[in-house]
């Protein structure tokens, strides 16, 4: 596509045109088209993403897959990227839940997991990641398949980029499991603790993977209050969260203006939002109000003070933490007033 034409058609039209050509291409050509589509998806803001990632799109993917015009490998390449963007940009499109593709992926997962011989572990992990990242109301009946499979991927210790990327995707998918889902600790606790401890000693995970591991574990606090000891005393969540937030504060460009109006966050901003979300879940479910918790909230006040009015996601999560903290008296009201956070909260109300 010429540079001139690229400028004269919309990002949505570019994506739609590439997708329409998939079923008429061979496997290698499809990979090239999907690579281009992934690049276009990265350019999209939330509204553009929602307008193309629909039930109709998923149904079409299912149709051409069933007609053997799209190999499973290529389908997964596209779906995993869509799912990853869906989670990182906090978009949560609903089309997959209502599509024929959801049932197709679900059946493939179950069939693969039930094989006594010839089980394809990589395919099963890929399918689990697609299912969890695209399906907001993911079914608890599949957790006994998804959780052990993806934790096994995240437990790999090889120090190379491919292993890091695989662990990152597996943990990102796991943290999509609803916080209200009840899950037996034997399904996840020892493995998740091992993942976090190993990173604390060897720094083998990416920043996103480490935050995702914590979010997955802390979301289980809703139904497993007994996890508090492991999270606070054994794994030292408050210390780790404080360090990560301080490092990210140094990385975020607080003065930037370009692209903000289009709703595009930088990688550092996305990672910061992830930690703020994890902290919000922790404060809500733990109900603890000690010095470490207060120090974390004061750090969030600093983040709020650094942010500008256009960094909406960051400010939204900060305000959510402030509301919860003020309601349970975990931070002094005067600190919120001095930070300017209270004024913004009142405006929102």
pLDDT tens per residue across span 259-314: 655 557 889 999 999 999 999 999 888 876 678 888 888 899 899 989 988 888 99
Rounded to an integer, what distance in angstroms lies between the CA atom of residue 214 and that of residue 203?
14
Q: In the chain, which residues have pLDDT < 70?
A: 1-9, 258-263, 288-289, 326-349
- Are residues 101 and 62 in contact, defined by beta-carbon separation less than 8 angstroms? yes
Helix (H, G, I), strand (E, B) or coil at 266: coil
- Residue 130 CA to residue 288 CA, distance in Å, equals 35
How many whole angstroms separate alpha carbon 51 and alpha carbon 45? 10
| CB-CB contact of 136 with 173 (8 Å) | no
At residue 2, the pLDDT reads 47
| pTM, full prediction | 0.90
pLDDT of residue 25: 93
C-beta of residue 305 within 8 angstroms of C-beta of residue 252? no
* Long-range contacts of the stretch 249-258 (C-beta < 8 A, 24+): 249/302, 249/303, 249/306, 252/306, 254/306, 254/307, 254/308, 254/311, 255/308, 257/310
Token readout for 279 is 């902290």
> Cα(340)–Cα(335) distance, rounded to whole angstroms?
9
For position 4, what pLDDT does the model report? 37
Which pLDDT belongs to residue 332? 61
Give backbone dihedrals phi and psi of 223, rounded to 5 degrees, phi first: -110, -5
User: Which pLDDT score is estimated for 256?
Assistant: 79
pLDDT computed for residue 103 by the predictor: 95
CA distances from 77 to 54, 71, 94, 181, 199 (A): 17, 10, 20, 28, 27
The pLDDT score that the predictor gives to residue 294 is: 82
Run of H or E residues at 251:
helix 237-251
The tokens for 80 are 């995993």
**Is-contact 119 158, C-beta < 8 A?**
no
Tokens of 230: 């492991």
H helix intervals, 114-160: 121-134, 143-154
Residues shown for the chain: 349
Nearest to 260 by CA among 49, 46, 52: 46
């Amino acid at each position: 596509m010429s540079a001139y034409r690229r400028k004269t058609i919309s990002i949505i039209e570019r994506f739609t045109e590439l997708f329409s050509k998939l079923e008429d291409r061979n496997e290698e050509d499809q990979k090239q088209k999907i690579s281009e589509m992934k690049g276009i998806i990265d350019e999209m803001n939330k509204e553009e993403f929602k307008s193309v990632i629909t039930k109709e799109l998923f149904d079409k993917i299912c149709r051409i897959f069933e007609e053997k015009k799209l190999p499973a490998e290529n389908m997964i390449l596209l779906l995993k990227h869509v799912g990853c963007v869906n989670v990182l940009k906090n978009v949560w499109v609903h089309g997959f839940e209502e599509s024929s593709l959801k049932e197709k992926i679900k059946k493939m997962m179950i069939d693969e997991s039930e094989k006594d011989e010839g089980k394809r572990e990589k395919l099963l992990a890929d399918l689990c990641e697609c299912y969890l990242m695209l399906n907001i109301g993911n079914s608890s009946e599949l957790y006994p398949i998804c959780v052990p499979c993806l934790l096994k991927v995240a437990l790999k210790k090889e120090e190379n980029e491919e292993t890091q990327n695989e662990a990152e995707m597996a943990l990102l998918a796991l943290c999509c499991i609803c916080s209200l889902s009840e899950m037996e600790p034997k399904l996840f606790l020892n493995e998740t603790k091992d993942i976090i401890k190993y990173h604390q000693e060897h720094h083998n995970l990416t920043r996103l993977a480490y935050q995702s591991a914590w979010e997955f574990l802390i979301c289980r606090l809703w139904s497993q209050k007994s996890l508090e000891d492991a999270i606070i005393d054994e794994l030292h969540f408050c210390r780790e969260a404080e360090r990560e937030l301080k490092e990210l504060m140094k990385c975020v460009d607080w003065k930037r203006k370009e692209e903000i109006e289009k709703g595009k966050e930088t990688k550092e901003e996305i990672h910061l939002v992830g930690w703020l979300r994890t902290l919000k879940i922790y404060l809500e479910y733990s109900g603890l109000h000690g010095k470490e918790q207060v120090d974390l909230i004061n750090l969030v006040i600093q983040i709020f003070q650094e942010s500008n009015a256009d960094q909406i996601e960051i400010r939204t999560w900060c305000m959510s933490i402030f509301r919860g903290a003020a309601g349970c008296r975990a931070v002094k009201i005067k600190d919120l007033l001095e930070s300017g956070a209270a004024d913004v909260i009142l405006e929102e109300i």
